[in-house]
Homo-oligomer: A and B are copies of this chain.
Amino acid sequence: MAVTSQQIAELAGVSRGTVDRALHNRGRVNPEVAARIHKIAAELGYKPNIIGQALVRTQRGFKLGAILQSAETPTMQIVAEGVRQAAAELHSSGVELELREIPSLDAPKLLEEIDDLVENGARGLAIAPNNAPELAARIDDLSEKGVPVVTLNSDVPASRRLCFIGMDNYRAGQTAAYLMRQSLPAGGKVFPLAGHLNNTAHNNRLNGFFDALRAGHADDIELLPFQPCFDREDFAYEITQHVLEGNPSLAGIYVASNGQQGACRAIAEAGKAGTIRVIAYDLNAPNMQLLRDGSLTYAIDQEAFEQGYRPPHILYEYLLYQKTPVKPLLYTDILIRTKYNSELPKPLRAAP
């Protein structure tokens, strides 16, 4: 059996209460005694029993908040599942985790929800932002007030957020370039389809893609100028149609945003499904269908569930044990999906 605070108390010749205050630096304890206690604890390698701690904590719980923008998207729905699982797990520790889902881009609404959650007593926030100019300042405010914020899926780098968890889009772009390069050993024309011009994630994906192609000495790959489709399938369809007409020998399309369905439709109608390499993002129902029928060559996936699941736990540990995340940027894995390794896997996770 592991070391208990009781044992330390006996060795130090004090009571458990004193040990507790000393080890948690709660003050009201003689410095000399505190030093002795710390020394004994260190020697014995004392680790507080988390179950004992958790049990006490069920008495007075506290609140956490989670806000997801673009909540209607398939990927964000997986993120939401992660949040809900975390909520269920933390519930037995007395934590009340409230999830707010905001459809599409709505910066004012986001700021509103932040205020509302904090007023309602949330002591930490997990936020999946998506384009919100004033957000950085608000996050700094909260941090100042002692309300930690974890960003997920999309970061706000210029803020004092506790940490970010999500994809490294630059590396994801590099990975896509590698796949494209390997898929086109003889080279050919490649068309990059972008999302919004000011979307950081999409831009990083494009930059990684361009840089890795350059680094790979893919001189025989001719990059057409990229075009934005504003995340809309109909625009993507139209653009792709046009590009195909102008470039009958097109060999590959890289879709850095939404739009893969429109692009694939245009390709199919041109009778080139399976011939032109298409690389796009995220594993969800429509993309799985495209992978199965051969329209989509590769889908690059992120660990969406994890992105929702971890932040509440990170906040919990930060608020309770002042435990700071190991790194400010917690990058999730870059997963390459084909029709053969793309069942939507129920995350393998130990029960709470």
From residue 136 to 157 of chain A, which have CB atoms closer than 8 A to chain B?
Answer: none
**Residues of chain B within 8 A of A94, CB atoms compared:** 1
Is A171 in contact with B340, judged by CB distance below 8 angstroms? yes
Is A185 in contact with B182, judged by CB distance below 8 angstroms? no
Is A333 in contact with B345, judged by CB distance below 8 angstroms? yes
| Known contacts A55-B55, A340-B175, A340-B178, A348 near B183 by CB under 8 Å | no
Classify chain A's interface size: 35 or more
From residue 200 to 227 of chain A, which have CB atoms closer than 8 A to chain B?
Answer: 212
Is A212 in contact with B340, judged by CB distance below 8 angstroms? yes
Interface residues of A (CB under 8 A from B): 1-2, 47, 49-52, 54-55, 58, 61, 89, 91-94, 165, 171-172, 174-175, 177-179, 182-186, 212, 277, 297-298, 303, 306, 309-310, 313, 317, 323, 330, 332-336, 338-341, 345, 348, 350-352
**Residues of chain B within 8 A of A339, CB atoms compared:** 178
Is B55 in contact with A52, judged by CB distance below 8 angstroms? yes
Question: What's the least CB distance linking A329 to chain B, in Å?
Answer: 12
Complex-state Cα separation, A303 to B338, whole angstroms: 17
Question: What's the least CB distance linking A150 to chain B, in Å?
Answer: 13
**Residues of chain B within 8 A of A91, CB atoms compared:** 2
Is A183 in contact with B186, judged by CB distance below 8 angstroms? no
Complex-state Cα separation, A3 to B158, whole angstroms: 43
Is B55 in contact with A350, judged by CB distance below 8 angstroms? no
User: In the complex, which of the residues B61, B298, B323, B330 contacts A348, with contact meaning CB atoms closer than 8 Å?
Assistant: B330
Is A310 in contact with B93, judged by CB distance below 8 angstroms? no
| Known contacts A183-B183, A340-B178, A93 near B171 by CB under 8 Å | no
Complex-state Cα separation, A257 to B338, whole angstroms: 22
Complex-state Cα separation, A151 to B336, whole angstroms: 27
**Residues of chain B within 8 A of A212, CB atoms compared:** 340
Is A332 in contact with B306, judged by CB distance below 8 angstroms? no
* Given A50-B92, A175-B341, A183-B185; 4 other pairs, CB 8 A cutoff: A50-B352, A51-B55, A177-B340, A317-B351
A to B CB contacts below 8 Å, 23 in the list: A2-B91, A47-B92, A49-B58, A49-B92, A51-B54, A51-B93, A52-B55, A175-B338, A175-B340, A175-B341, A179-B338, A182-B182, A212-B340, A303-B348, A306-B348, A309-B350, A310-B348, A317-B351, A323-B351, A332-B348, A335-B335, A336-B338, A336-B341
